[in-house]
Every structure is written in C-alpha cells, then in structure tokens.
Amino acid sequence: MANTTVHDTIRAISWTDNRLQLLDQRRLPGEYTTLSYETVDEVADAIRDMVVRGAPAIGVTAAYGVVLAARAQFAKAGVRWASTIQADLDRLAQSRPTAVNLFWAIERMQALVSRLGHGNPEAALLAEAIAIHEEDVAANRRMGELGAALIESPCAVQTHCNTGSLATGGYGTALGVIRSAYAAGKISEVFADETRPWLQGARLTAWECVQDNIPVTLLADGAGAHLMKQGAVKWLIVGSDRIAANGDVANKIGTYHAAIAAKYHGVKLMVVAPTSTIDMAISSGDEIPIESRPDSEVLSMNGEPVAAAGAKAWNPSFDVTPAALVDAIVTERGVVLKPDREKMTELMNN
C-alpha cells in the first residue's frame, strides 16, 4: 500500500486541554484560527454557524458536545444529571437537519447515557466520543483504499464541496479516496468545483489539496459540464450527508447538477460515505429533509451585496441525486455498484 502520510496533515477537530477545539472553517483559507468550546450551547452554535461542517465532522463534534453537556449537568444536578441532559441533546439535534451523522452520534452517546450510573459520567462519555472520532478516521482510510481500487487507470477527477479532513474526523471521504488514489499514482489532478454560496470547494478543498501537495485546479460550478465535455476527467467523486435506503444521495447543493452532466458525458459518479450516513428508515431521497439557509448567503459575500437590492434568493443547502445516476457507493463495509434497495439492504446487513 502506498504511503499517504505526506498527503494527510490536517485535523480540524480535537479534544485538548479538557475542552473541544475546532478549526474555524469560515476563516479559511486566509486565516488559520482554532476556537475552544466548553459548553453544549457553544457547540450547537458552532455547528449551525458553519464553524464546523461536513456530515461526519458534525457527528464527531456533537459527540464531544454531549461530553460538555454531561459535565455541566453533573456540576448542576449531581446524581440527577441523566434526567436533565435531554434538553441539551435536543439542542444539538436541532443544529442542522440534513446530516444524519449528527443524529447517529447523538443516539450513540444517548445509549451510553442510559447505561451509566449516577456518578460522574464525563470520563466514560469522553472515551465514547474519542472512539467515534477514531473510528471515523479509520473508516475514512478504509474507504480511501476501496475507492482508489475502482480507478483503473491514471486520470484526472472532479469533486464538489469539501469532503476531506475538514469535513470529517480526519483524512476524508471523497477526498480520502482522492488522497489514496493520488498516492498510488492513479490520479493526476483534481478539479474542484467552487461550491457556491459558501465556496467550500474554493476555500477548503483547494486549500487542503495545496497543503498536502495534491495538484488542484479550481473551476466555477457552472463550468463542470464543459470540463467533462473535454474528456478531461473520468470520475466525479463526492461525499454525502444522507443516503436513503434505495441509494438516493443527498449532498451539497450542485451535486445533482454535476451528476446529470457526468451521466451525459460518460463520467462515472462515486459517492463516498460511512455507513453512519445511510438512513435505512428513509425509503427514498424524497423523504430526506433539505435544509434551507438564509437568503443573505446568496445575496452577499463577506457582508458585501452581490445582487440587486430587493432581489430574493432560494438557498437550499443540499440536493438529492437519484440512485440511477450513481455508479458506486463506497463505505467502510464495502462497495455497492449501481445501488438499489436490495443492494443497500445487503450492505447494511453484513
């Protein structure tokens, strides 16, 4: 296996000095700032305000948020801490509605809460949060191997949004595949969509690639189809915030647009996500809740207006790509080619 260490130097989430530390992704690439959090309210606000983003990273962050909630409730309510923590868990759950990893992590931490006694719960909950974090990184490395194996010959690839270390516990999902494939000599160049309106591709994916010495070229979202028409890329590799039981995929707005273009031009679509992103309780993408964010994100940039005064904006944060457009879903448990309900069920029952 190729050495990927040189292409994996970034971590956005850490538990340091008995508190949660988050790299403020809103300030990248111009400023590298780490913020500290000691309360569950601060953590919920950090998730909502996009200090941290990306479904796996949100889940890991929420797990640490539960630790902070338990610390505060034990200090306030003593042995009654478990009966007073629910409001804190609800506050975390309400911070972002689409990313299923958020709810998965909270439910896993809540299951431990229900098993703990009346003593101080912090150490046990912290151990569980750290386990969630470490398992995510390990899963990402496994997905990197499995996804890279699908790329048969050296080529350029296109990606959308940010799916790297910044969006996960570390290494990344789609960008983890790109890291592994680049280290193995299978990827020559990454074309990154800018990803309006938050510019995660421009600010974050391009920054990660530059930091880790992976050749990257940035393009406007609307240029993707023209790039594919040139025959410049062979794979579109993306992440996901929620995958339905039939293989429909919710991801950052613009993914569906890119997937349609990929299908037309014979570019294969690879979706890379841990099984915690798969929601078997939702039969299709039609049932996935789509977060709607403020008009101001589209109408302005860095506080400066970019649209005519009086104009309105439509700002869904995610869209749904039908399973019929997906060539492969890569998870830590294995790869599903041409996903459908039967194949997804088989994967989740393994």
pLDDT digits (tens, 9 = 90+) for 125-163: 999 999 999 999 999 999 999 999 999 999 999 999 999
Q: Number of structural domains, the chain?
A: 2
Over residues 270-286, the mean pLDDT reads 96
Q: What is the pTM of this model?
A: 0.90
CATH number at residue 152: 3.40.50.10470
What CATH number is associated with residue 96?
1.20.120.420
Residue whose token pair is 């400066």 = 304
Q: 171 and 128 in one domain? A: no
| Closest listed residue to residue 72, CA positions, set 49, 56, 89, 57 | 89
pLDDT (0 to 100) of residue 1: 43
Check whether the bond before 294 is cis (ω within 30° of 0).
no
Domain boundary among 136, 171, 193: 136
pLDDT tens for each residue of 79-98: 999 999 999 999 999 998 87
**Same structural domain for residues 119 and 158?**
no
If asked whether residues 337 and 195 sit together in one domain, one would say yes
277/304 same-domain check: yes
pLDDT score for 302: 83
Residues 166 and 206 in one domain: yes
> Which is the catalytic residue, given 212, 241, 279, 327?
241
Q: In which domain, by residue range, is 50 found?
A: 5-136
Is the Cα torsion angle 185, 186, 191, 194 positive or negative in sign?
Answer: negative
Cis peptide before 29 (omega within 30 of 0): yes
Active site residue 88: no
Percent of the chain with pLDDT over 70: 98
Closest CA to 101 of 294, 328, 329, 274: 274
Contact 260, 325 (CB under 8 A): yes
Last residue of a domain, one of 136, 157, 176: 136
Are both 70 and 150 inside the same structural domain? Answer: no
Of 84, 118, 136, which marks where a domain is finished?
Answer: 136
Q: What is the pLDDT of residue 5?
A: 57
pLDDT at residue 269, rounded to an integer: 98
